[in-house]
Amino acid sequence: MFSTGLFLYLSISFIAFNEKKKTPTDSEISNHQVYFSISLFRSMNLSKNEEDYLKALFHLTMEVDAETAGTNQMADELSVSPASVNGMVKKLKTKKLVDSEKYGKLKLTETGKSEAILLIRKHRLWETFLYEHLNFSWDEVHEVAEQLEHIKSPKLIQQLDAFLGNPSVDPHGDVIPNSEGGFSMKSKKSLVEVQAGQKCTVVAVKDASVAFLQMVSELGIGLQTEIRVKHVHEFDASRTLLINNLERVVSLKFSENVFVKELN
Ligand SMILES: [Zn+2]
């Protein structure tokens, strides 16, 4: 059994932010790989709330290739008040996990980044496990993974990763950082960018809300589902799609939340 009390903190130091070296395939053209190296030497015991803030800041900055995020953006992302964000940011700055620049723009420190990436890794591995082995549906995995990601046993995650066969993407098509902290950042194309008459397959979804994922399931959409954009309605940019030979009309907002790979 892994020694209790001591929990290892994966310090993942940022090494490089390179363009992919090998010849890229179509879907990889605008992807780049981020490399981290992991060492197991520090211990840091963060609360669930602190971890959620780090993850929110990761989603608003690193994941979308942005340098910083504002207090209001954080408040929206976490559904809390800006005052709560300020309170927590103060705490995270003392712990050297978050930095703020002028005008209150927030960013993760190197330590903050490694903590956030570890959380993302745990979250996505748990989602994969729930989906593949416990019969959870696409729209159910996120809520449960939100709870499981806070378990602090490095051995558990290492074994889970091995048990799953070191998967590289989760059930939503999002990249799972590997045990060295490496992952590729994809510039994803949304359904909005697909012209009428074109075919594409679903590679990921942006919105992880239960309401959205239920709608996705009801429309018969999953990862790798083939969609043909039949028509884009001029009035409100809603779209008529052909999914499994059935015509479905979806809103612009819906299309913005579905990531696809175009087929020729
Ligand atoms: Zn999730």
The CATH superfamily holding the domain 189-263 is Ferrous iron transport protein A (FeoA) (2.30.30.90)
CA of 35 to the centre of ligand 1 (A): 22
pLDDT at 62: 84
pLDDT at 32: 56
Distance between CA atoms of residues 32 and 61, nearest Å: 15
pLDDT at 35: 58
CB atoms within 10 A of CB 174: 21
CA of 230 to the centre of ligand 1 (A): 30
| pLDDT score of 230 more than 70 | yes
CA of 91 to the centre of ligand 1 (A): 26
CA of 157 to the centre of ligand 1 (A): 16
- The pLDDT > 90 percentage for the chain reads 54
pLDDT at 179: 86
Q: What is the pLDDT of residues 159-170, one digit of tens each?
A: 999 999 999 888
Average pLDDT over residues 54-73: 89
pLDDT at 187: 62
CA of 163 to the centre of ligand 1 (A): 19
CA of 125 to the centre of ligand 1 (A): 10
pLDDT at 14: 27
**pTM, to two decimals:** 0.69
CA of 24 to the centre of ligand 1 (A): 28
CA of 171 to the centre of ligand 1 (A): 9
Least confident residue range of 51-60, 109-118, 138-147, 183-192: 183-192
Domain boundaries, the chain: 9-185, 189-263
CA of 170 to the centre of ligand 1 (A): 9
CA of 123 to the centre of ligand 1 (A): 6
Q: What is the pLDDT of residues 84-106, one digit of tens each?
A: 999 999 999 999 999 988 778 99
CA of 214 to the centre of ligand 1 (A): 14
CA of 158 to the centre of ligand 1 (A): 19
CA of 173 to the centre of ligand 1 (A): 10
- Map tokens 């978050």 to a residue: 98
Domain 9-185 has CATH 3.30.450.90: no
Residue 3 banded pLDDT, cuts 50, 70, 90: very low
